[in-house]
Amino acid sequence: MKRRVFVTSIVVILLSIGVLGTYAYTVAEGTATNVITTGCVNIELKEYTLNEDNERIPYGNTAIAVIPTSKVDKIVNVENTGNQQVFVRVLVTITVNSETGEDFDLSNIIIDYNSTDWTLKDGYWYYNNILDVADTTEDLFTSVEFSANMGNDFMNSTITINVKAEATQVANQTASNSTEAVGWPE
């Protein structure tokens, strides 16, 4: 009987070694590194003026003195500096700070908007085309004119034209143009 228990024990041990040995041969291990990069939506708002040779130069931060009927060269466009196609929109606001604190008729400040390549909707100017990587939009406007009807209420005032550009990616959009695109900042 001892011999039988001994033989059974050896058989169990051999079966255990066989199963563990088989297990050791069927397990494999490996690692993989997956690099996933995201696209970059990036734009640069460009503002220029014209020098005496009628060449574009960067628009500076120096205040320009104007009087009624003055026309100032201010050229605005947007460059796609990212690595994705984008839709572009621009918000232009005008503020007037004066000594009197009066409300001003802003229709006396005339901006020559390009309504051929841009569409006005909900206060924003939407570029009508997809902006490819490294491309620049057509100019949104090229000058600002001050009406002869401005009057003395504008005297000693500071007029600021604020321009803010935004972009959203074209990829995964169901929209075919910027006015219907989603993903705009709020």
Assigned domain for 151 exists: yes
Locate 66 and state its tokens: 């104007």
Contacts of 135 (CB under 8 A, 6+ apart): 79, 80
Same domain, 26 and 47: no
Assigned domain for 158 exists: yes
Contacts of 10 (CB under 8 A, 6+ apart): none
Contact 34, 104 (CB under 8 A): no
Same domain, 89 and 13: no
The whole-model pTM stands at 0.80
**Model pLDDT for residues 30-70, shown as the tens digit of each residue:** 778 877 767 789 999 999 999 999 999 999 888 888 999 99
Same domain, 68 and 151: yes
**Model pLDDT for residues 76-131, shown as the tens digit of each residue:** 999 999 999 999 999 999 998 887 777 778 899 999 999 999 999 999 999 999 99
Overall number of domains in the chain: 2
Same domain, 125 and 52: yes
Same domain, 71 and 161: yes
Same domain, 69 and 134: yes
Same domain, 21 and 106: no
Q: What is the pLDDT of residue 13?
A: 63
Which range of residues forms the domain containing residue 11? 1-30
